[in-house]
Amino acid sequence: MFKITDNVSWVGKIDWELRKFHGEEYTANRGSSYNSYLIRDKKTVLIDTVWLPFSKEFVADLKKEIDLKTIDYIIVNHGEVDHSGALLDLMMEIPETPIYCSKKGVESLKGHYHTDWNLNIVKTGDTLDIGEGTLTFLEAPMLHWPDTMFTYYSKDAILFSNDGFGQHYASEAMYNDKVDQSELYQEALKYYANILTPFSAQVTRKIKEILGFNLPLKMICPSHGVIWRDNPAQIVEQYLKWADNYQENQVTIIYDTMWDGTGKMAQAISKGIKSVNDDVVIKQYNVGRSDMNDVISEIFKSKFVLAGSPTINKGILSGLAGILEVIKGLQFKNKKAAAFGTYGWSGESPALIKEELKKCGFDVLDDTIKSLWNPNEEVIGSCMDLGRKVGELCK
């Protein structure tokens, strides 16, 4: 338990050991937290719970803090198991307690748990008077699931934003102003790039809608990572930038390679870029050896992406094929791309990569480079030429 205001306490779980999230899809290299909040106004309200493996610990800790029977309402901002996972154990203790969630939240909770809890649907603008303060509900569909909603507590001007504005970032410091700012920025960006990118249009619309309410805002309490108490508007403004076809002056070269032939092509492209453009940031990743989510964060920041792989069994090496599949789902906007790769006999890979890059939503150059065997001087020259063209396009 950690007191945030006179009325509001954090009752979640910091998960220092987490390294893989969403199955194996997301690398949580700095751990995470599952933030649950307890409001003690005239009514007692629990907002979200924690992930299933910590369910019993969560309920036991909560019992030390309050008599569970004094909880008047439970708010489920989002039904995914990292936030609703402790409900089964909790509702065994207080089965009649009303749960408030969105219409889609009812479907999600019933779909996950197949129980008959006292579920109550709320929609944007609905309120719950809990004493000195009022809870106002704001549906936020696709931030990042259809059922997601935010809850605003008027007395302390706190927005409980669930996954929105979150970070997979374990810290006992709890607040944004008490942690390393560079780490926090990296984790917030990684979270946006890897989870929220496909829903950027909804992010922009929802933020503008919320800003239209002119609610005072002292804190944003997300369900992962630290609480935004120092200038909470900073992360809202940052989200508006990230949602607006974000790019920095960066080129990212991603490749997979068997015997370093495609790796040499990547090096030559990089040299070509550098030879004509000393300002653009060039990053290069052998994706077979790199953290996929960190690479995706770099692609998110890029204006140009080059992707290469040798041909294997008429296809693309799995390291590159895997990350392209993920990028396809994220649908980054406002980025150019090109393909390259070596081959020994059939040579399908570069053309396949080009088609995949188009499906990713990139504006793809026709300058695909194929190298039979190890790149010779002529191929290295072509890679340098492609690099120079990319460098010029990035000016």
Which residue, 41 or 163, is less far from ligand FEO as judged by CB? 163
Stretch of 75-83, 206-214, 238-246, 300-308 lying at the interface with ligand FEO (CB under 6 A): 75-83
Alpha carbon separation from 223 to 35, 70, 77, 333 (Å, rounded): 4, 23, 9, 27
The active-site residue, picked from 224, 256, 285, 343, is 224
Between vectors from CA 15 to CA 72 and to CA 79, what angle results, nearest 5°?
45
The minimum distance between CB 144 and ligand FEO, in angstroms, equals 6
Between vectors from CA 237 to CA 305 and to CA 142, what angle results, nearest 5°?
70
Q: Is 80 in the site for ligand FEO (CB under 6 A)?
A: yes
191 is a catalytic site residue:
yes
CA distance 9 to 36: 9
Among 41, 48, 82, 147, binds ligand FEO (CB under 6 A): 82
- Residue closest to 92 by CA, chosen among 64, 121, 65, 63: 63
Tell me the two tokens of residue 118: 């006292």
CA distance 169 to 235: 15
Q: Are 251 and 301 in contact (CB under 8 A)?
A: no
| Residue 342 backbone phi and psi in degrees, to 5 | -95, 170
The active-site residue, picked from 100, 191, 192, 246, is 191
114 is a catalytic site residue:
no
Which residue, 159 or 266, is less far from ligand FEO as judged by CB? 159
Q: Are 235 and 220 in contact (CB under 8 A)?
A: yes
Residue span 101-140 as binding mask against ligand FEO, x where in contact by CB under 6 A, dash where not: ----------------------------------------
224 is a catalytic site residue:
yes
Among 77, 102, 223, 342, binds ligand FEO (CB under 6 A): 223
168 is a catalytic site residue:
no
Stretch of 74-82, 248-256, 286-294, 380-388 lying at the interface with ligand FEO (CB under 6 A): 74-82
Using Cβ positions, the residue closest to ligand FEO within the complex turns out to be: 80
Q: Is 147 in the site for ligand FEO (CB under 6 A)?
A: no
Residue span 160-199 as binding mask against ligand FEO, x where in contact by CB under 6 A, dash where not: ---x------------------------------------
Between vectors from CA 330 to CA 328 and to CA 334, what angle results, nearest 5°?
90
Any idea how long the chain is?
A: 395
366 is a catalytic site residue:
no
The minimum distance between CB 138 and ligand FEO, in angstroms, equals 16
The minimum distance between CB 285 and ligand FEO, in angstroms, equals 27
Region of 88 (left: φ > 0; alpha: ψ -120 to 50; beta: rest) is alpha
Q: Is 13 in the site for ligand FEO (CB under 6 A)?
A: no
Q: Is 41 in the site for ligand FEO (CB under 6 A)?
A: no
The minimum distance between CB 130 and ligand FEO, in angstroms, equals 24
Tell me the two tokens of residue 247: 């790019």
Q: Is 83 in the site for ligand FEO (CB under 6 A)?
A: yes
163 is a catalytic site residue:
yes
With contacts defined by CB under 6 A, how many residues of the chain interact with ligand FEO? 9
The minimum distance between CB 293 and ligand FEO, in angstroms, equals 15
Binding site for ligand FEO (CB under 6 A): 78, 80, 82-83, 144-145, 163, 223-224
Catalytic residues: 22, 78, 80, 82, 144, 163, 191, 224
